[in-house]
Amino acid sequence: MELKEQIDKEKIPVHVAVIMDGNGRWARRQGKPRVEGHRHGVRAVREVTEAAAELGVRYLTLFAFSTENWQRPREEVNALMGLLVNTLNSEVETLMKNGIALHAIGDLESLPPEVHANLMKTVRETASNQRMTLILALSYSARCEITRAARLLAQDVKAGKIQPDEIDEKRFASYLQTRDIPDPDILIRTSGEYRISNFLLWQIAYTELYFTQKLWPDIRKEDLYEAILDYQHRERRFGRISEQVNPDNHR
Ligand code: IPE
Ligand code: IPE
Ligand code: MG
């Protein structure tokens, strides 16, 4: 049976998050400049986005550029920013066709003006699409996001809008950029690195982690199917015991 057909349509993760890693190594292995890896990564973005929308995933978050990535060589940063503008322009049609709304998180003000303008334009144009929300994490780092939330919250306390004893997890999370988005059910990282690299630290408290050796430019729809199948075989206990979360398996 094909992988896709083995997927239980009743247990599709609501939110899939992905750390797209390994572009540079993909290019290097072929004796090409790193930028070539980023260029070929666009196809993988398209495949995973389409596959997720087809399966009924409601939120797909892609880590495209971290705050720390600004420290890379200037040519690589420039090439990535250029690629982003081109991809936004070339993919709007596909987003519209597939009913996908684009959203972005991160320190967006620090993006070059052209990138920022293109991003906001695409976000506006796709805003009423309902099938899936594609969230791009750009110039994003979780510690920046959490620190910013703390700052905004402190300002509201100072202004008398909230009392300190009214601050609970739900209230705190409402100051994060992901406030209207449920926590990821699964986080996928490609390229065989086993770390989080400052991605969604607050939100992944109970997310299922999935790692693959494949480099991002080699990722296709089938790889998403594999990850989701793996996810569907896990038991999410959230601190409870198996008998509580799956009584039917223990009768
Ligand atoms: C991921 O691939 C893309 C970005 C971080 C922008 P890398 O560029 O990190 O590729 P490797 O990890 O060096 O192979
Ligand atoms: C994480 O990848 C950031 C993105 C995928 C955008 P990196 O390649 O920057 O991560 P580290 O530095 O190797 O952990
Ligand atoms: Mg990397």
pLDDT tens digit sequence for 39-74: 999 999 999 999 999 999 999 999 999 999 999 999
Residue 66 within a domain: yes
* CB of 69 sitting under 6 A from ligand 1: yes
* CB of 121 sitting under 6 A from ligand 1: no
* Residues, beta carbon < 5 Å, ion ligand 3: 21
pLDDT in tens, 87-146: 999 999 999 999 999 999 999 999 999 999 999 999 999 999 999 999 999 999 999 999
Residue 152 within a domain: no
Residue 251 within a domain: no
Catalytic positions, written as ranges: 21, 69
pLDDT in tens, 182-213: 999 999 999 999 999 999 999 999 999 999 99
Average pLDDT over residues 164-190: 98
Residue nearest to atom 3 of ligand 2 (CA): 66
Residue 2 within a domain: no
Residue 111 within a domain: yes
What is the domain extent for residue 82? Answer: 11-141+183-232
Whether pLDDT at 1 is above 90: no
Q: Which atom of ligand 2 is nearest to the CA of 69?
A: 9
Q: Give the chain's domain count.
A: 1
Residue 72 within a domain: yes
Look at residues 178, 190, 183 and name the one whose alpha carbon lies nearest to residue 236: 183
Name the token pair of 110. Answer: 């620090």
Partnered with residue 239 across adjacent β-strands are none
* CB of 225 sitting under 6 A from ligand 2: no
* CB of 63 sitting under 6 A from ligand 2: yes
**What's the CATH number where 217 sits?**
3.40.1180.10
Residue 242 within a domain: no
